[in-house]
Amino acid sequence: MSTSAVEKSVYEQIGGEPAMAAAVEVFYRRVLEDGRISHFFEDVDMERQAARQKAFLTMVTGGPANYSGRDMRAGHAHLVRQGLNDTHFDAVAGHLKATLEELGVPAALVARVLSIAESARADVLNR
């Protein structure tokens, strides 16, 4: 593998923004159908909810996102007060993995995405 291929983000390797647009629909359907976590994703404004999830997918694939750890904390604080915990985080991570697999992303790249997602766990859960 050449050095440039290693440095390329997963986001770039799987096709950038159009790939995110496809992934967000798959991911959003999966979390809405999962009774363990669907209430965290219910939103009268589905466009806004989809935009947030797209930003999340862009971030964990190493794409152009400007989320800081502080943003992640602030953005999830109200959910933590509603009981958001490790179980929910694991469920979301599971759907992230399944979504990427469904879209045919190679296992090595899926693993890289999941490790980025894992690194956000403490901030998401406000620990």
Question: Given the rule CB under 8 A, which residues bind other proteins?
Answer: 25, 28-29, 32-33, 44, 46-47, 50
Tokens of 100: 């990427």
Tokens of 45: 């404004």
Please state the closest distance from residue 47 (CB atom) to other proteins, in A.
7
Asked if 28 and 42 count as a contact pair (C-beta separation under 8 A), the reply is: no
| Closer to other proteins by Cβ: residue 26 or 80 | 26
Please state the closest distance from residue 124 (CB atom) to other proteins, in A.
24
| Closer to other proteins by Cβ: residue 8 or 48 | 48
Q: How many of the other CB atoms lie within 10 Å of CB of 112?
A: 18
Residues in the chain: 127
Please state the closest distance from residue 25 (CB atom) to other proteins, in A.
6
Asked if 67 and 59 count as a contact pair (C-beta separation under 8 A), the reply is: yes
| Closer to other proteins by Cβ: residue 95 or 112 | 95
